Amino acid sequence: MSVRSLLFVPGDSPRKLDKGMASGADALIVDLEDSVAPERKAEARAGALAFLAEAAAAAGRPRLVVRVNGLDTGLIDADLDAVVAGRPDAIMLPKAEGGASLLHLDAKLAVREAQNGLPDGAIAILAIATETAAALFLAGSYAGASPRLSGLTWGAEDLSVELASETNRDAEGRFTAPYVLARNICLAAAASARVQAIDTVYVDFRNEAGLRREAEEARRDGFSAKMAIHPAQVAVINEVFTPAPAAIAQAQAVIAAFAAAPEAGVVGIGGVMFDRPHLERAKQTLARARSAGLG
Ligand code: COA
Ligand code: MG
């Protein structure tokens, strides 16, 4: 599952769920966790299931992800009992702490897939890898833990509570050092697990320039998607994470040059050296272009 934009929608808001379907997001994250008050969890579960049942059949629909409550909340079993019947494409696990937490969720999903007559492994996992201090030290353990893992993302809000930071952004709106560390750990963890690295949300949702800057910096560093909290953020994110025509042309030129010289480890194009890592990057670019519907 390769996506560019993932829009959070509170699970207890049918109106926003409908709006999410029309937002152009590649994926919707129906939230049962932080955006839903404790006394509305049951309503959100029922709303999420009703939404999944209806949205599944929509033509050209976004991927449907449900963010459940964390493994230590006492809420996750009831969340999964409610939503697996609606066969979401993926479950997002907040406050994940490495490969052990993936195994835990994997087992919970396998039981419910069997109970609902779904193929084993039908539901993927996206994990939020940096929401606790301990999680930062466990991020290297995702690789190989569960074949369900299809993406890693990170979060700065819960982490700032754990770290007791006064703020997580500076006066210019850039993340402060501990949160840049968390971001970079997520990027490396995703690369080592060979899954998509998904950048965190930009909460200042009327600031389009700030969102664009943060998304472009994420793409520059290796993230291939970003989460959104408001429909107005989706078009910017899709644009930033869709390979530009020049990037696609460049990737095609690199692939063509290596195809013309199959024995070569290195080629020159227009006075610049390209070696095997560049070939891999070119293939990644074209794969992303294809999943964005280009080429
Ligand atoms: N998904 C779908 N629709 C959304 C939306 C979202 N995430 N956020 C806003 N909208 C809709 C609103 O319902 C509104 O439509 P309406 O007037 O027809 O009802 C329209 O977009 C414009 O919304 P706006 O007035 O600009 O924002 P708001 O004050 O209503 O909502 C938030 C602001 C932050 C409460 C809202 O964007 C939101 O709920 N975001 C998701 C929060 C979340 O899930 N957080 C957890 C992850 S960090
Ligand atoms: Mg949170």
Low-confidence ranges of the chain (pLDDT < 50): none
The finding on whether 19 has its CB within 6 A of some atom of ligand 1 is yes
Closest ligand 1 atom to Cα of 201:
48
pTM of the model: 0.95
Q: Which atom of ligand 1 is nearest to the CA of 228?
A: 7
Instruction: Round to whole Å and give the CA distance between 205 and 211.
Output: 8
Cβ 20 under 6 angstroms from ligand 1 = yes
pLDDT at position 295: 64
Atom of ligand 1 nearest to the CA of 157: 48
Residue with CA nearest ligand 1 atom 28 = 230
How remote is the CA of residue 283 from the centroid of ligand 1, in Å? Answer: 36
* pLDDT, tens only, 232-273: 999 999 999 999 999 999 999 999 999 999 899 999 999 999
* Nearest Cα residue to atom 31 of ligand 1: 230
Pocket flag, ligand 1, residue 11 (CB < 6 Å): no
3-state secondary structure of 142: coil
DSSP state, residue 231 = G
